[in-house]
Copies of this chain bind each other. A is one copy, B any other.
Amino acid sequence: MSTAKQKIYEIIFEADTPSGKFFDVSLLVVIILSVALVMLESVPGIRQNHQELLHGMEWGITIIFTIEYLLRIAIVDKPFRYIFSFYGIIDLLSVLPTYIGLVVVGSHSLVVIRILRLLRIFRILKLTRYTLAGRSLARAIWASRAKISVFIYFVIILVIIVGTIMYLVEGPEHGFSSIPRGIYWAIVTLTTVGYGDISPETPMGQFLASIVMIMGYAIIAVPTGIVTAEIINPTIEKNTQVCPQCLHHSHDDDAAFCKKCGAPINQ
């Protein structure tokens, strides 16, 4: 790799040098600006008066991002690895919608997906309290994935049954026009969102809904319990010691002897 190439690499891929950090911070500012532009453009009053300006700025930013994307591919050692990496895909999706918008009207709003590029902020905040906090949260959620999947599996089965029963009880004349709509209502209710766009009107429906709500009360406790346990766990979780004699694991931190076979274990 030539020195010039390495210099550019350090600037656009790393955040350790002052110029690299400056590049990353500028990028974050442009991303935020760009997302703000898309939002503003969607507001009817603003769109009508400033369409030209907003349009121009969006194209400007898209061209900057396109150049940056091509530069990243040109500069990196293994281009395909970057292209198919998480950030590589996000970087591509950050420019595509504008080009597609030339053909499909309205689709260019999808450039808001470039807000995901803001996740790079954790690259800049290297090893600080915030990165650690993010990693610890991600770990807790990742460790809970099996329990949360099982929980959501049960919730889906539950809302399908509840939604169907409410469809039969309330019927189309009270807004429960189909089973999918009944299921939508069940989800709105069980998650305690409660828009009120569909709500039970018959006494029987209101009675059943009350039971669902009180059930939801207890059910909402489950994911909370799962995640809380995972956040607290690292403090009290078992260590990785294995008994040298019987290979039993899951010993307490302060165990001096294997609780299965009585052989001394390394502390």
Contact = CB atoms under 8 A, between A and B. Distances in A.
Interface of A: 35, 38-39, 42-44, 106-107, 109-110, 112-113, 115-116, 118-119, 121, 129-130, 132-134, 136-137, 140-141, 146-153, 155, 157, 160-161, 164, 167-168, 172, 177-184, 187-189, 191-197, 199, 201, 203, 206-207, 209-210, 213-214, 216-218, 220-233, 235-238, 247-264, 267
A260 B256 contact: yes
Q: How many copies does the complex hold?
A: 4
Given A255-B259, A256-B259, 20 more contacts: A44-B177, A109-B179, A112-B164, A116-B157, A118-B153, A132-B146, A137-B151, A140-B225, A180-B203, A187-B214, A188-B194, A191-B214, A191-B216, A193-B194, A217-B220, A224-B224, A229-B231, A235-B236, A247-B267, A256-B260
A42 B167 contact: yes
Interface of A is mostly: helix
A130 B157 contact: no
